[in-house]
């Protein structure tokens, strides 16, 4: 993590009184697969969170198409 990003999060933590807590995730079930390797778990979280914007954008396009049909 670069220094600017780290500094930003430090400010956010101070402003929100949020203290760092660490929770180990030892296993994750994704698509009926048990992930136990830490890198596989990290990749699964990355895939999930990085796909959120794409899913939101797809929903916006679909909503616009549906709204255009109503008109």
Q: Does residue 62 have a pLDDT over 80?
A: no
pLDDT tens-digit series, residues 29-43? 999 999 999 999 999
C-alpha–C-alpha distance, residues 27 and 37, integer Å: 8
pLDDT (0 to 100) of residue 66: 64
The domain segmentation of the chain, as residue ranges, is 24-71
Global pTM value = 0.51
- Evaluate whether 41 touches 28 at the Cβ level (below 8 Å): yes
- Mean pLDDT, the chain, rounded, equals 83
């Amino acid at each position: 993590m670069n220094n600017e990003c780290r500094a930003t999060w430090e400010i956010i933590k101070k402003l929100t009184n949020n203290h760092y807590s660490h929770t180990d995730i030892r296993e994750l079930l994704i698509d009926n697969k048990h992930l136990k390797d830490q890198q596989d778990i990290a990749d699964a979280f990355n895939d999930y969170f990085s796909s959120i914007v794409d899913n939101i954008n797809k929903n916006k396009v679909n909503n616009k198409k549906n709204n255009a049909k109503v008109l």
